[in-house]
Structure 1
Amino acid sequence: MKTFLTGAAAAALCLGAALPAGAEEWNVSLWGKARAFTSHVEKLAEVLDETTDGEFTLNISYGGLSKNTENLDGISIGAFEMAQFCAGYHRDKNPSITVLELPFLGVNTLEEEIAVSMAVYNHPAVQDDLGRWNAKLLMPSPLPQYNLVGTGEPRTTLEDFDGMRVRATGGIGEAFRTVGAVPTSVTSSEAYAALDSGTVDTVAFAPHAHLSFRTIDMADWWTTNLNPGTVNCPVVVNTDAYEMLSDEHREALDAAIPVVMDHYLEAYGKIYEQWDQVLEERGVEKVTFSEEDLAAFRAKAADPIREKWIADMSAQGLPAQELYDVMMDALAKAQM
């Protein structure tokens, strides 16, 4: 670790020496490839470059700086200044934001997902929680509701889920466990290999991720309406780096967030215009569950998992009920 930090510090010094006076460059750790899920970060780089006349730039890396499951650790030691991660990758490291991954919350749109995420991110207990990693929550990466792609015979009833091996993290994984499935929390980058090798039978993703990580290429069927929930994947910045920004650059960063979130929503809109066409081209069978099955799924998963989450997080000293209420109040306002 000492060698790594020394090397990183040396690189930073060299980089700083090469930059013009007043210029600042941040390293950003993402994974996979440029896609809708990273479009707000890509747009942020463009906006900052434009609004600061090239004086504040983002150097975006897809996997070259860290594993996606270790991005929060990298932020904590200042290995890079900005990163994206998903709460379900390491629930013990960011317990407060896992409230956003509880199943069947009733979030219907990406706009609603933004509203509930920001309400939770702005809570002092959440800021203290992420502050343990020297991380400041900058913006969410709102994701649509998850559904399954699977191989083999379609699973058309809840009874068919018994023994089903599913790639699902966080609260979604726990939801599937309540109906007899066996959740596996491999990362998104590993999902294709897990499906290909038979480690899992099904993968729970939103449509964009099924496209990005090619799980749709192996799919025989797709569930249209399970909608058990989604994962929460914030973009964070190193707190020290944020505070060391010049006033002008910090203001430019803060002002850019609404702009890049609008761009993110546009990017996802384009994906959903092509989703049905992709399913048809690949001959993927659509599986739609009855309202009775969906109601049974919600009854088994939503209330027990929520109550367990509140009890567990309260035992850890978090204001769990308050966080849940803040989130649901924000959802109610967004749906008005």
Structure 2
Amino acid sequence: MKHYLKYGAVAAISLAFAGEAMATEWNVSVWGKRRAFTEHVEKLAELVSEKTNGEFTLNISYGGLSKNKENLDGISIGAFEMAQFCAGYHRDKNPTITVLELPFLGVETLEQERELSMALYAQDAVKEDLARWNATLLMPSPMPQYNLVGLGDAPAALKDFEGLSVRATGGIGKAMEAVGAVPTSMSATEVRQAMDSGVVKAVAFAPHAHMAFGTIENGKWWTTNLNPGTVNCPVVANTDALNDLSDANREALLGSIDEALDHYVDNYTNNTMAKWGPALDERGIERVSFSAEGLAAFKERVAGPAATSWIEDMNARGLPAQELYDFATSKLEELKGM
């Protein structure tokens, strides 16, 4: 009897270790703190764990694994399995997706941003671009149009941006440069210190980031309708890690993306934006709106030249720039029902 118990116990322990060995954990590198910008990643982790009964978990780290500008490098060497990054942080590393950061592209809603990004991510040239980093694009982080929170006197007209130091990345930076501002590219986590020290006098962010990174704590004004564009911030997986997943775990991950994005858009629309107006009012931040004529002149001055410059630059790199630009603009027209 003892003999059978002995081997039964060994078998039970072996099965326990086998089950433990079968569990899969992925490390996920994001930054800052949990906020609207990371809600789809948080929801994805929740869904994956539920669908696999805890056998596949996503361990989300807010800055503990990598600097945000180095997340794509970390993915490339397998330092972690999933990460979020913004194309404008390192345009040379992911040139194809910077087409979605062109100023005045015309995206009007989070849903349009979501669908346009997912469609572009499926293009062969974009897949090949990210494959250089052993990365597979999973989903975007849809954001509304950026606007500025600033210090000092509020600009009354576009000419008042002349000489203003502005944190603005990608195409937004190009747009601000066109009205005489001095754009500076820096990561979101560096912005508050730069603002406090006077390195920049204004910051271009979406509303959630203005709240999350504290620009409204000492800001004096906010532009309601400048709307020069937004940034594209994908979530990617290390391709080898994705391929190594079991079929069930891969399905749990990829099959949860749509629901995670649904949650993200709903949260941004009904939670973040509901807080934005009251947050400005509580701090006495002045709302600055520009005339339709001024904005039209701004767009005319910026949009065409920026697109032409982008196409020329990408062509010089051997990328199908015109094809990507035409795809993005025609897809957006389709989404807008034009």
Alignment-derived partner of residue 26 in structure 1: 26
Query: 2:278 corresponds to which residue?
Result: 277
- Please state whether the residue corresponding to 1:26 is helix, strand or coil: strand
Structure 2 counterpart of 1:217 = 217
Percentage of matched positions with identical amino acids: 64
Does residue 36 (structure 1) correspond to residue 36 (structure 2)? The answer is yes
Alignment of 1:99-114 (within 5 A): 99-114=99-114
- Alpha-carbon distance, 1:28 to partner: 0.3
Tell me the alpha carbon deviations over residues 263-289 of structure 1, each in whole angstroms, 9 at most, x when there is no partner: 001110211112111111100000000
Q: CA deviation at 1:20?
A: 1.2
Contact 1:119 1:326 in 2 (8 A): no
Q: CA deviation at 1:18?
A: 9.6
Alignment of 1:1-336 (within 5 A): 20-269=20-269, 270-336=271-337
CA shift in 2, pair 1:164/1:36, >3 Å: same
Following the alignment from structure 1 to structure 2, what is the Cα–Cα distance between the partners of residues 137 and 306? 24
Q: Which runs of 5+ in 2 are unaligned?
A: 1-16
Separation in 2 of the partners of 1:279 and 1:184?
24
Query: Based on CA coordinates, which of the two structures has the bigger radius of gyration?
Result: 2
Summarize deviations over 1:4-35 as a string: whole Å, max 9, x none. xxxxxxxxxxxxx8971322110000000011
Across the aligned residues of Structure 1 and Structure 2, the Cα RMSD in angstroms comes to 1.1
Partner deviation per Cα, 1:183-226 (whole Å, 9 max, x = no partner): 00011111111111100010000111000001011110000000
Counterparts of 1:215 and 1:232 in 2: how far apart (Å)?
21
Distance 2:171 2:92 in 1: 13
Aligned match of 2:12: none
| Alpha-carbon distance between aligned partners in 1 of 2:164 and 2:301, rounded to the nearest angstrom | 17
What CA distance in whole angstroms lies between the structure 1 residues aligned with 2:202 and 2:18? 49
1:237 counterpart SS class: strand
- 1:63-87 Cα offsets, whole Å, 9 max, x none, are 0000000000000000000000000
Aligned partners of 1:54 and 1:330: how far apart in 2? 38
Q: Is the 8 A contact 1:134 1:239 kept in 2?
A: yes
Distance 1:266 1:134 in 2: 31
1:84-130 deviations in Å (ceiling 9; x for gaps): 00000000110000001000011010000011111111110000000
Q: Whole-Å Cα distance in 2 between the matches of residues 297 and 244 of structure 1?
A: 49
Runs of 4+ in structure 1 off by over 2 angstroms are none
Give the Cα separation in 1 of the matches to 2:187 and 2:275: 25
Mapped to 1, the partners of 2:19 and 2:261 lie a distance apart of 29
Q: Quote the Cα distance in structure 1 between the aligned partners of 2:309 and 2:201.
A: 28
Contact persistence 1:164–1:180 (CA under 8 A): yes
Whether contact under 8 Å (1:163, 1:182) holds in the other structure is yes
The amino acid of 1:314's aligned partner reads: N
Whole-angstrom CA distance in 1 between matches of 2:134 and 2:18: 27
Is the partner of 1:183 in helix, strand or coil? strand
Q: Distance in 2 between matches of 1:316 and 1:267?
A: 39
CA contact (8 A) 1:48 1:56 kept: yes
- Between the aligned partners of 2:156 and 2:219, the Cα distance in structure 1 is 15
Paired amino acid for 1:56 = F
Residue 3 of structure 1: aligned partner: none
Secondary structure in 1 matching 2:40:
helix
Paired residues of 1:116 and 1:328 also in contact (CA < 8 A): no
Distance in 1 (CA, whole Å) between partners of 2:46 and 2:119 is: 27
Q: Which residue identity lines up with residue 288 of structure 1 in the other structure? A: S
Structure 1 pair 110–18 and aligned structure 2 pair: CA distance change class (3 A): farther
Q: Give the aligned partner of residue 8 of structure 2.
A: none
SS in 2 for 1:64: coil
Is the Cα–Cα contact under 8 Å of residues 30 and 62 in structure 1 kept in the other structure? yes
Deviation at 1:292, TM superposition (A): 1.3
Q: TM-score, length-normalised on structure 1?
A: 0.94
1:320 to 1:297, Cα distance in 2 relative to 1, 3 A? same
